[in-house]
Structure 1
Amino acid sequence: MEGLKRYWPLLLIALGLIGGIMWWQDKRAEERRVEEQLAQAQGIVRVLSATFSNKAALKVGEINGTLDVTVVDPGAVPILRSSQKATVPYSVGYTLNLSDVGADDYRWEPAARTLTIRVPTVTAEAPNVDEANRAVAGTSGIFVTRGASANLARRASQLATAKAGEVAAEPANLAKAQQNAEKVVADLARTPLEAAGLGPITVRVITPAAGVRDGERWDVSRSIEQVLADRPR
């Protein structure tokens, strides 16, 4: 018993040293894990920044159809007043500007291997009116001059363009374009990430129209840029 008491301080020191070594090993393992995650996050930012940098007008959808319009040319005098009904084909494309997506717009979850990307709102392009295929349903007027016919065609094109813009701006059409943008961007991002050896990765795309999902609040997450900024030098 007396012998054990004599060596007890040495045993305590040994246990302390073993505990310290284990703590240091755990700390180094955690530091290496963080380093690997940060390196992976940096790789993701580099790959996608290169992929998105030239995508200022990525097409993510299109609507098309025909519009029935009725236009009037007042003429120089009442007797020259004329009107026309026409059916005008149109199309409107939707684009997404990915060149503005920065490091703060990525969220990387290493454990789930999930990348969330925040992208801008889609925008509708200028409507394209197919005047060559405009179908005239009828023209009325006592005397329709060549100039009046040109004016009627121009007015029909202008009115169809305005109406096409209104159709493109309808919430249902914008929402569909946003949903399609999510799929297009996810596919665009996944390919280079897997090619760079970072896959398989789940890619989620958040657009302003999507709002909050799965109980998450975007503004309380730490972006890759913030994590890198807090990294010990």
Structure 2
Amino acid sequence: MADALKRPWRRYAGPVGAALLILGVGGAMMVGWQRYNRDYVVTTEDDGSAVTRIIAEKISGASALRVSRLNGTVQATAQDVRGFGWLKSDQVVKMPYMVDYFVDLSGLAARDLEWDEKSRTLIVNAPDVKPDTPNVDEARRTLVRTGGLFVTREAGEELSRKASLHAQARAQASSRSPERMAQAREYGRTAIARIMGAPLGAMGFGDARVIVTFPPERRDDDRERWDVTTPINDVLANRRQAR
């Protein structure tokens, strides 16, 4: 009986599998074509002239809190060699850049909030501050100096590409330096303390302190200073019952 029930499924297993395979390949090809069309196909008017136009855009939500922003000017250099070493060219570019620092609060849970009853202190064990990808504003370049006996169009494009990559890398390295990260954490500490202090004040804990710690700062010997015995959600629940 069981074999009889399985036979019809075996009959259609091959065609169904082939159909699913065709659908999968077709979907992958469509996604690939959409990406190729977005990144490489030039959009033109009816007369064939290229136009400035938004090709693709997407908006999405975010749970990260921006706590600080780094602004600066970066100087980038690039070299290019062609023609069996005869055609050498170089470029120096100066342009402004900007880096935002965020703290992702989406993963902050009750276990990350600790309450010290004696000193009325809320300890927030926050995720670390993370710098975003540097935004190098090439449209506002203040200096572009290109040198070389003869700079071909291809060499000029390669110099521009290399200078842009070097500027991006240098700005990223600066934004992740210990000094900049320490400064960003201080701004993050202030922002998170302000956010967490508001509900405490509303619950009648206006005189409570809020201490924000980040992963590099959390050590066992530092935490021994606090007698943390009660989770903050229990404290707030007891406060509501008392009212």
TM-score by length of 1: 0.65
User: Following the alignment from structure 1 to structure 2, what is the Cα–Cα distance between the partners of residues 218 and 160?
Assistant: 44
Relative to structure 1, the CA distance from residue 226 to residue 170 in structure 2 (aligned partners, 3 Å threshold; closer, same or farther) is same
Instruction: Kindly indicate which of the two structures has a greater share of residues assigned to helix.
Output: 1
The answer to whether the 8 A contact 1:175-1:209 is kept is no
Counterpart of 1:135, as a letter, is T
Relative to structure 1, the CA distance from residue 79 to residue 219 in structure 2 (aligned partners, 3 Å threshold; closer, same or farther) is farther
Q: Cα offset for 1:195?
A: 3.0
The answer to whether the 8 A contact 2:116-2:229 is kept is no
The answer to whether the 8 A contact 1:70-1:83 is kept is yes
Q: Which position in structure 2 is the counterpart of 1:69?
A: 76
The answer to whether the 8 A contact 2:74-2:95 is kept is yes
Q: Cα offset for 1:220?
A: 7.9
Q: How many residues align?
A: 176
Q: Which position in structure 2 is the counterpart of 1:95?
A: 102
Counterpart of 2:63, as a letter, is A
Relative to structure 1, the CA distance from residue 182 to residue 65 in structure 2 (aligned partners, 3 Å threshold; closer, same or farther) is same
Q: Please say which structure displays the higher CA radius of gyration.
A: 1
Q: Which position in structure 1 is the counterpart of 2:178?
A: 171
Q: Cα offset for 1:214?
A: 9.2
Alignment pair present for 1:140 and 2:143: no
Relative to structure 1, the CA distance from residue 223 to residue 175 in structure 2 (aligned partners, 3 Å threshold; closer, same or farther) is farther
Write the deviation string for residues 68-107 of structure 1: whole angstroms up to 9, x where unpaired.
2210122354343311111121111111111111111111
Gaps of 5+ in 2: 1-60, 236-243
Aligned equivalent of 1:217, options 201, 224, 232 = 224
User: Following the alignment from structure 1 to structure 2, what is the Cα–Cα distance between the partners of residues 167 and 201?
Assistant: 36
SS at 2:223 equivalent: coil
Gaps of 5+ in 1: 1-53, 229-233
Aligned equivalent of 1:104, options 108, 111, 114 = 111
The answer to whether the 8 A contact 1:71-1:84 is kept is yes
Counterpart of 1:176, as a letter, is Q
Q: Cα offset for 1:127?
A: 0.9
User: Following the alignment from structure 1 to structure 2, what is the Cα–Cα distance between the partners of residues 213 and 186?
Assistant: 22
SS at 1:163 equivalent: helix
Q: Cα offset for 1:197?
A: 4.2
Aligned ranges 1:106-125 → 2 under 5 Å: 106-125=113-132
Aligned ranges 1:23-42 → 2 under 5 Å: none
Q: CA RMSD in A?
A: 3.0
TM-score by length of 2: 0.63
SS at 2:107 equivalent: coil
Q: Which position in structure 1 is the counterpart of 2:201?
A: 194
Q: Which position in structure 2 is the counterpart of 1:35?
A: none
Counterpart of 1:209, as a letter, is P
Write the deviation string for residues 204-225 of structure 1: whole angstroms up to 9, x where unpaired.
1111233459953389844518
The answer to whether the 8 A contact 2:121-2:210 is kept is yes
Q: Cα offset for 1:60?
A: 1.2
The answer to whether the 8 A contact 1:55-1:98 is kept is no
The answer to whether the 8 A contact 1:60-1:181 is kept is yes
Q: Between 159-168 and 93-102, report the one with greater CA deviation.
A: 93-102
Relative to structure 1, the CA distance from residue 110 to residue 223 in structure 2 (aligned partners, 3 Å threshold; closer, same or farther) is closer
Q: Which position in structure 2 is the counterpart of 1:82?
A: 89
The answer to whether the 8 A contact 1:106-1:223 is kept is no
Relative to structure 1, the CA distance from residue 125 to residue 215 in structure 2 (aligned partners, 3 Å threshold; closer, same or farther) is closer
User: Following the alignment from structure 1 to structure 2, what is the Cα–Cα distance between the partners of residues 81 and 169?
Assistant: 34
Aligned ranges 1:12-23 → 2 under 5 Å: none
Q: Cα offset for 1:67?
A: 1.5
User: Following the alignment from structure 2 to structure 1, what is the Cα–Cα distance between the partners of residues 216 and 62?
Assistant: 20
Relative to structure 1, the CA distance from residue 67 to residue 56 in structure 2 (aligned partners, 3 Å threshold; closer, same or farther) is same
